[in-house]
A and B are shown apart, each in its own frame.
Chain A
Amino acid sequence: MDDLSYVGRSIPRKDGPIKATGRAKYTVDVTLPGMLVGKVLRSPHPHARILSIDTSKATRLPGVKAVVTAADSLKIKHGFVDTPRYPADQYPLAVDRVRHVGEDIAGVAAIDEDTAEEALSLIEVEYEPLAAVFDPEEAMRPDAPEIHPSHPKVNEPYRNIGGKTATSWGDVEKAFAESYLVREDKFYCQMRAHGYMEPQATLAHFDYSGKLNVWTSSMGVFLKRAKLAKTLGLPYGSVRVLKTYVGGAFGGKIDLFHHEYIASLLSMKCHLPVKIVYSREEVFKAARPAQPLIVQIKTGVAKDGTILGQEIHAINDSGAYHGSGVVVIFLAWGFAMAPYRVPSLKYEGYSVYTNNLVRAPQRGHGAPKMRFAAESQFDMIAEELGIDPVEFRLRNVRKPGDILPNGDSVKNFGLRECIERVAERTDFKNRHEAAKRERETGSKVKRGIGIGTTAYFGGSLIYPNSSSALVRLNDDGSVSLLTGALDIGQGCETVLCQIVAEELGVPVEEVQIYAADTETTPVDIGSWISGLTYVTGNAVKKAAEQAMKKLLAAAARELGADVNDLVARNKEIFVSHCPDKTISYAGAVAASIARDRGDSIIGEGHFRTMKDEPFHPSLASTKGRWTENYSSYAQVAEVEVDTETGVVKIAKVTTAHDCGFPVNPALVEGQIDGQVSMGQGHILTEEIRVENGCVINPSFLEYKIPCSLDMVETDYIDVITEQYKRGHHYNTKEVGEGYVSGTVVSVANAVFNATGVRVRKTPIHPHDMLAALDRLRTPKEEKKSGRS
């Protein structure tokens, strides 16, 4: 590890200067000659039949170049999940029915924004409103309005069931019977916005060669290509999705968004470039918000705190279509079972249709909600048993090499070390005890400390499943990397260039990267299942290795030396026992071209996680491998609760992380800081409020994401387990998603430590906190948990 030159170092990001100077072109900045403004007409009703759509007046308005409705489309459905069990369920333009406010009815393209707006107002739609339902538990009742028929394989008499995940192992009833203590609790997580600063935006140009060129603010170009090609009926080769800089995504820009389809269809109709940019209000009211979840959890433990069994019911309000609902109920199971040993478990998750907006994943996708439920309850159990929260976790944490019920191994899992190190750094046990004692004193500001943990997957088999990369040595010995990876702000371009620099012995600033163009770069897994550094990183490493091998072979021949005696450094190759015999990279490339019938030096690399597994695990039964690569972390939050205002402040969050080998530690810290901040919004201030299916706080003025005055002090402990020290520096794991979870959980537990108030619903509104503090002052007989 010590002889690494570029990998493992905090190299400033390569795109820093272009972003700092405002020269980076985001989708909103791209313009083409003759470009039109596109706008979308949306349903004002949460649930209605469409009786007729008349676009004739809009079409006749001067300046309007194209109008499209479902009648212009192929009426091909799409979905975030599109499998035999969960076939695509959503038309990109509503055909005869709308199921949520904001559903796309028609698109217009006009010469300017005012004309486009006027054209929208001229489209006449006749609706027949239908009964609607917005609460998932109400939507499950047999007498609820039917949004879609329940899934044919779900046998329970519930309505509107889009999907179900069910799995179990061990004998849960027996475990509960043998338990010293059994608790059952219910927790609610709210609907949130991703808060990406660049709104949804797409520019589409269907040119006269029959090619659709698309610039779109996304999280991976290959998934967009696949979905556009399918819904538009075009071959993949006729759809080109190109790189733009992306102004944040956080899960909210994957899958096909209908404005991408509509801009494309409009351009196909008029052969002119069409750009659609959402207003911020439109982002809140019509794009996909983050998943809410209700978790009911029952846990039985032995007297010493050992978990014996768990029974979990999760209910997801998926909105009007599947979206990622049938995925989040699968993932919630994964985040329940991965970090701690649960010898017997019964899990059921339901994804329920409502007349709300369709949801997208958000950073953590299920983890913050499931860990919030599980670890709030951990602390409740620990308190009842008189065990310290850290001790409780250490008693149950998985060990390296544990095999999970789905067959995955947590192999080099560092969670135990993370918990120990973060507890030690923060003096957790003493301060936790001290805060409990001080709870009863008269001070109006109460301080507390809490811990939260997570384990997270790193890449799974979801289309495109794998990554390829090309590393090209140019004639002058300079190096170009071609990768399909799209940097959405996390810094993947920098990380991938560090890997090339390391493998080829060239300065990292000299590695040129060409990225994220479906026509000219190889396929990539995408910036959205926490596998990019692992999957793409290893593809890039293999490509660089292969290029190096070819380069050394050419050099060996030229120098008349054995290839095993060659050393490459700073674009020079020399013979180790005879350092005067050298050849430059440029010389070796020239020799390769001259001697090998024109062969230039190009290395190719391909990498797929879990290469022996054919598919993603079953979303319904959880059968099949999920990932080969579990990261883990433990976080401790220190909070202050003002008992007069009910306001909670987070003073500090300390994170001990096992993200595998950190290729760029500064970027790892940046990811953690961002997630602490996002977790802070989740637990304290952020909530999308909806009335009759319509978002009523569609602005940053009314939806409060953290600003600088809310900044949380952060501290990090890099827990590198022994395995990485033995040269496994491409054994990387997830670092971009799960820390939201640890922040949410540790703050909730710290609030209890400070005040005795147990948070069961996020966010913690000050008025709820005040009411809870009042209830504590006038104690009632609380519903006791069962004790055998």
Chain B
Amino acid sequence: MNKPAKRLISLKINGMEYEMAVRPNRTLLEVLREDLMLTGTKEGCDDGSCGSCTVLLDGSPVRSCLLLAVEAENREVTTIEGLAEDEKLHPIQQAFVDHGAIQCGYCSPGMILTAKALLDENPEPSEQDILHAISGNLCRCTGYNKIVTAIKAAGRNGKEGD
């Protein structure tokens, strides 16, 4: 079997520079999970339909299963591991915990990052804004109700913290 030659790339993930040799057909999701052991990013479908693998690319949510690692070169990648500072949860993470927005937790990393992108752009979103923003992140446990409550609360908290 002929494998494509590896390419040397530099990835910036959660503020850290990683010099890596990766095959050009590998997705960012594979590189994050398998090479860097950043397993907080989850794979749920491998066809872009579930949103579990969402990471932020220059602050915008992308599906890391649909993005080649080489395409992320020279971009800022934020994964769920880059959100909490030391042991203090990010306000969105705290809101998810406080408002019962987490059950099995498998969709939570992607959902939280999507929420972060939304709140960074619009700290006080309407319910419709939230529903649209997270419409690409499937959750089978919660019915979304408590996730929406948590994102609303995090939005307000963020404003109060300013």
- The interface of chain A, by Cβ under 8 A from chain B, is 10, 12-13, 15-17, 19-26, 28-29, 31, 114-115, 118, 194-199, 245-248, 250, 279-281, 488-491, 666-667, 669-670, 673-678, 699-701, 705-709, 711-714
Contacts and interface: CB of A to CB of B under 8 A. Distances in A.
6 contacts: A21-B89, A25-B39, A196-B104, A666-B100, A707-B144, A711-B144
Interface of B: 1, 3, 33, 37-47, 49-50, 52, 79-81, 83-84, 89, 93-94, 96-98, 100, 102-109, 112, 130-132, 134-148
Contact of A670 (B37, B100, B106): B100
Contacts of B134: 708
B112 to A, nearest CB: 6
A197 B44 contact: yes
Given A197-B106, A674-B103, A677-B144, A21 B49 contact: no
Contacts of A666: 100
A700 B50 contact: yes
Nearest to B79: A22
A118 B1 CA distance: 9
Contact of B146 (A31, A114, A673, A675): A673
A717 B100 CA distance: 18
Contacts of B37: 31
Given A21-B80, A21-B83, A21-B93, A709 B135 contact: yes
Contact of A19 (B52, B108, B135): B108
Given A13-B97, A22-B41, A700 B138 contact: yes
A197 B100 contact: no
Contacts of A13: 97, 100, 102
Contacts of B43: 28, 199
A10 B97 CA distance: 12
Contact of B143 (A17, A196, A199, A711): A711
Contacts of A677: 140, 142-144
Nearest to A197: B106
B47 A26 contact: no
Tell me which of B41, B49, B79, B137 has the highest count of chain A C-beta atoms within 10 A of its own C-beta: B49
B106 A17 contact: no
B109 A279 contact: no
Provide the main secondary structure of the chain B interface: loop
A675 to B, nearest CB: 8
B81 A21 contact: yes
A670 B146 contact: yes
Nearest to A707: B135
A708 B131 contact: yes
B103 A489 contact: yes
Given A20-B93, A280-B45, A709 B131 contact: yes
Nearest to A491: B103
B47 A699 contact: yes
A474 B39 CA distance: 33
A115 B1 CA distance: 9
Most buried by B among A16, A490, A712, A713: A16
B143 A488 contact: no
Nearest to A678: B140
B131 to A, nearest CB: 5
Contacts of B131: 708-709, 711
Contacts of A669: 100, 146
A468 to B, nearest CB: 25
A197 B42 contact: yes
Contacts of A707: 135-136, 138, 144
Contacts of B38: 22
Contact of A279 (B46, B83, B107, B136): B46
Nearest to A283: B45
Contact of B96 (A16, A281, A705): A16
B47 A197 contact: no
Q: Which of A491, A675, A707, A713 has most B Cβ within 10 Å?
A: A707
A670 B105 CA distance: 13
A248 B3 contact: no
Contacts of B80: 21-22
A17 B97 CA distance: 7
Contacts of A713: 145
A678 B143 CA distance: 8
A480 B103 CA distance: 23
A714 to B, nearest CB: 6
Nearest to B50: A700
A714 B108 contact: no
Contacts of B52: 197
Contacts of B139: 197, 708
A488 B148 contact: no
Given A280-B46, A673-B146, A12 B100 contact: yes
Contact of B103 (A194, A670, A699, A708): A670
A589 B70 CA distance: 59
Nearest to A675: B143
A750 B69 CA distance: 49
B141 A29 contact: no
Contacts of B41: 22
A701 B107 contact: no
B125 to A, nearest CB: 12
Contacts of A23: 40
A209 B78 CA distance: 42
B146 to A, nearest CB: 6
A610 to B, nearest CB: 29
Nearest to A30: B39
Contacts of B145: 673, 711-714
Contacts of B112: 20
B57 to A, nearest CB: 17
A21 B40 CA distance: 7
Contacts of B89: 17, 20-21
B90 to A, nearest CB: 8
B47 A701 contact: yes
B157 to A, nearest CB: 15
A667 B100 contact: yes
Contacts of B42: 26, 28, 197-198, 247
A490 B84 contact: no
B108 to A, nearest CB: 5
B95 to A, nearest CB: 9
A488 B39 CA distance: 19
Given A23-B40, A700-B47, A714-B143, 14 more contacts: A16-B96, A16-B97, A17-B97, A21-B93, A25-B39, A194-B140, A197-B42, A197-B140, A247-B42, A248-B141, A490-B103, A708-B135, A711-B144, A712-B145
Nearest to B81: A22
A593 to B, nearest CB: 34
A701 B49 contact: yes
Nearest to A653: B143
Contacts of A714: 143, 145
Given A16-B102, A700-B45, A709-B131, A21 B84 contact: yes
Nearest to B105: A19
Contact of B39 (A22, A280, A489, A708): A22
Given A20-B89, A670-B146, A677-B143, A199 B102 contact: no
Nearest to A26: B106
B102 A20 contact: yes
Given A22-B39, A197-B50, A712 B143 contact: yes
A674 B144 CA distance: 8
Contacts of B39: 22, 25, 28-29
B101 to A, nearest CB: 9
A678 B144 CA distance: 11
Contacts of A15: 105
A246 B140 CA distance: 13
A22 B109 contact: yes
A181 to B, nearest CB: 38
Contact of A673 (B44, B135, B142): B142
